[in-house]
Amino acid sequence: VKSAVQSLSKWYLRQARALPWRENHDPYRIWISEVMLQQTQVATVIPYYHRFLKELPTLEALAAAPTEKVLQLWSGLGYYSRARNLQKGAQYLVEKYAGKFPRMREEIEEVPGIGPYTAGAILSIAFDLPEALVDGNVQRVFARYFGIQAEIEQRETQRLFWQHAATWVKAAEAPRVLNQALMELGAMICTKGTPKCDLCPLAQTCVARAKGWQEELPRRKARRKAVDLWWQGFVVEKKGKIFLRQNQKGEWWTDLWDFPTRPLTSREVWEKPPAFEARRLAPQKHTVTHHRIHIAPYHHAVSRKPPFELGPGRWVSVEEAQNLPLSSLARKVLQAYLC
């Protein structure tokens, strides 16, 4: 373990990408980056990260901000419960710990929105404590390095990953380097599909490499089949303003703003225009969990009464719409309208 940990750490110190959240060890900045990166690619996150920290540079600022502002800064990143939880977490930290991050795993895992992974990331990266973390990249590296054949979703396999992660981080001279190195290796070298074993600092002792198992590991449970949903969406325009409705509790993307939509029964119906006059815009696709939404957006200009019930919402200019926290789907429809 010691020598693998050392080679990996050295490799990281030589090769790590310069990323904005690696500029210092401020726990708040690390926390924001880790949460943003959970479901989103690095390149997408960078501008959001800068914007978020410019507007809300401290834990206190995040705790005190109107939720709509936080959602607006998050708008486009998806998985909005992450933003909501960040704010709840910030309020909790300000209230209970006077705006400081506790350094005990049990305490930090009590913070709303902070689970075992994020706790490990903050404790190790910000405070250099030997606390483990396991994310998708770490799972892939360990599954291959140790030649783990069991499905990674299984509880036993997860336990094994965490055990290995704990052993490795405890053997490291600098926990913050080792944990980031594991994730960096998964992101840059031990990638999905065909990994770049020739460049890997763990190549000498890797089971998957020795046995040629790189492409079959990690093993996963068969995925749930995607369900196609066929929707129409409407950019209803009146006197230069467009109509947006706010999603209600229980709906997807609660509190975010959307164009009115209408679910249809099949692709055949979806391909036909609505019964009233409307200009068809470029169709868009959007994935939510295992749903694949196909939306056919239409632009409909009204002089008086719209042809269907719009529900509660606001008439706004395009500029105002761009500054509201829109759902990612609404952003795509707006883009299609502006094209």
Q: Which residues bind ligand SF4 (CB under 6 A)?
A: 141, 144-145, 189-190, 195, 197, 200, 202-203, 206, 208-209, 214
Q: 3-state DSSP call for residue 93? A: helix
H/E stretch holding 88: helix 81-97
Mode of pairing for the β-strands spanning 227-238 and 257-258: unpaired
Query: Is 257 in contact with 327 (CB distance < 8 Å)?
Result: yes
The DSSP bridge partners found for residue 315 are 243
For residues 77 and 208, which CB has a smaller minimum distance to ligand SF4 in the complex?
A: 208
Query: Closer CB to ligand SF4, residue 90 or residue 202?
Result: 202
Q: Is 106 a catalytic residue?
A: no
Kindly state the smallest distance separating residue 207's Cβ from ligand SF4, in Å. 8
Of 164 and 209, the one with the shorter C-beta distance to ligand SF4 is: 209
Q: Which CB, 61 or 207, lies closer to ligand SF4?
A: 207
Instruction: Find the helix or strand (DSSP H, E) in which 231 lies.
Output: strand 227-238
Specify whether the CB–CB gap between 26 and 126 falls below 8 A: yes
Of 42 and 203, the one with the shorter C-beta distance to ligand SF4 is 203
Please give the Cα distance from 186 to 285 (Å, whole number): 29
Catalytic one of 23, 34, 215, 277? 34
Place of tokens 């030997």: 130
In degrees to the nearest 10, what's the CA dihedral of 198, 203, 209, 215?
Answer: -60
CB of 101 to ligand SF4, least distance (A): 32
Between CA 184 and CA 199 the distance in angstroms is 13
**Nearest distance in Å: CB 283, ligand SF4:** 39
Q: Nearest to residue 73, comparing CAs of 65, 186, 330? A: 65
Residue 195 CB, shortest distance to ligand SF4, in Å, is: 4
Contact 114, 108 (CB under 8 A): yes
> CB of residue 209 vs ligand SF4: minimum separation in angstroms?
4
Looking at the annotation, which residues are catalytic? Answer: 34
